[in-house]
Homo-oligomer: A and B are copies of this chain.
C-alpha cells in the first residue's frame, strides 16, 4: 500500500522521538512492501519561532493531504511569555478542532516488566487493561466565553463548559463501539450531581446504550473515578468522559503503566484522518540530549498502522519488537535503575529496528 504520513515533530524531544517512528516505519515499509511518503510540518513553539504562529496554514494543508498524522509534542518554557492566543498548545488545540479529532483514545495496560517502576503494588496492576476515551474538541477547552474582564478590584475571568447533544452522542457512540469489540463495559464519567452538562451527558449515555444491548453501562462521578482508577483499576474496560475530566484522569491513569514514556494515543475524526501521538509532553529538560524514550512514539506508529491503515500484522511486528527489547532488560534513562547503563534514544531506536 502507498500511504502519505504527515509528521509534526513539534518541540523539545518531539523531534528525537519522531525520528524513531520514521525509521521504524521505513523498515516496516521495506519488510511488508509498502510505500510510506513522509511529509513534515511545523506546529507549536517551533512554528512560532519560524512562522510567528503555532499552526501555520501550510501545516494544516499538509495534514489534509495526508492519510494519517503523527505528532511529537508541543510546548516549553521558552514560549511562556507568548500571549495566550499564541502559545504552542494553541497549535495543537486548533489542529484538533480544525480536523475534527473528537475522540482521544488512550489504552492503559500495565507492562509486566515495568512494575518495579510503578508506585503501585503488583496486586493492584493485575489484569489492568482498559481504554480511556476522552472527548477532545468540546467541553471546558473550547466553550465561549473564555475571557478576562474588569480591572483592579472588579477583575474576573470566565471559561465555559459547553456541549451540544450531538457532540456528546458522538463520543459516547465511539466508546460503545470500542467496548463492543472488547469486554462490553462502558464507564461513563461525569459530575451529574452538580453540572447540567453532565446531566445531559448521562441521559445521552442511556440513549446510546439502548443501541448496544450487550454492552453494560455504568455511570461514575468524576471524583469517585479519580479514586477507583487507582484503588481498583482492573474494573474498567472503556472509560469515557468530557475533555477536561479526560485530561486529568488519563494522566492519572498513565501512572498505572509504569511510565509515561511508553504510552501511545490516537485522536480520531469521523472522516478517517486520524492523529497519533505519545501521551508524554515535550520534556524540555532533556531535549536534544539523546536521552528521550522513543517507545511511546513508536507505539503510536503501531496504532496508526492498525487503526488508519488496517495493517494488523505490521502493527504486531512493531509491538513485538518493543516487547522483545523490554524483555531483554534494555531501557532508556526514564526506566533504568541507578546502577544500569541506560540506552540513548538512538540506541533504543536501533534495538527496535533490529527486533523487527
Chain A interface residues (CB < 8 Å from chain B): 75, 84, 87, 89, 93, 118-121, 124, 140-141, 143, 146-148, 150, 153-166, 191, 193-201, 222-224, 226-227, 229-231, 244-245, 247-252, 254-255, 260
Q: Within the oligomer, what is the number of copies of this chain?
A: 2
Given contacts A160-B161, A227-B255, 10 further A-B contacts (CB under 8 A): A75-B193, A89-B193, A140-B161, A146-B196, A148-B200, A157-B165, A161-B161, A222-B247, A223-B251, A226-B251
Q: Decide: A158 and B156 in contact? CB cutoff 8 A.
A: no
**Complex-state Cα separation, A114 to B153, whole angstroms:** 47
List 3 A-B pairs, minimum CB-CB distance, nearest first. A155-B165, A226-B252, A223-B251
Q: What's the least CB distance linking A128 to chain B, in Å?
A: 11
**Complex-state Cα separation, A291 to B191, whole angstroms:** 28
Q: Which of B148, B165, B260 is close to A196, meaning CB atoms less than 8 Å apart?
A: B148
Interface majority SS (helix, strand, loop, mixed), chain A: helix
**Complex-state Cα separation, A44 to B332, whole angstroms:** 53
**Complex-state Cα separation, A261 to B84, whole angstroms:** 43
Q: Decide: A157 and B199 in contact? CB cutoff 8 A.
A: yes
Q: Given A231-B255, A248-B226, A158–B162 Cβ distance below 8 Å?
A: yes
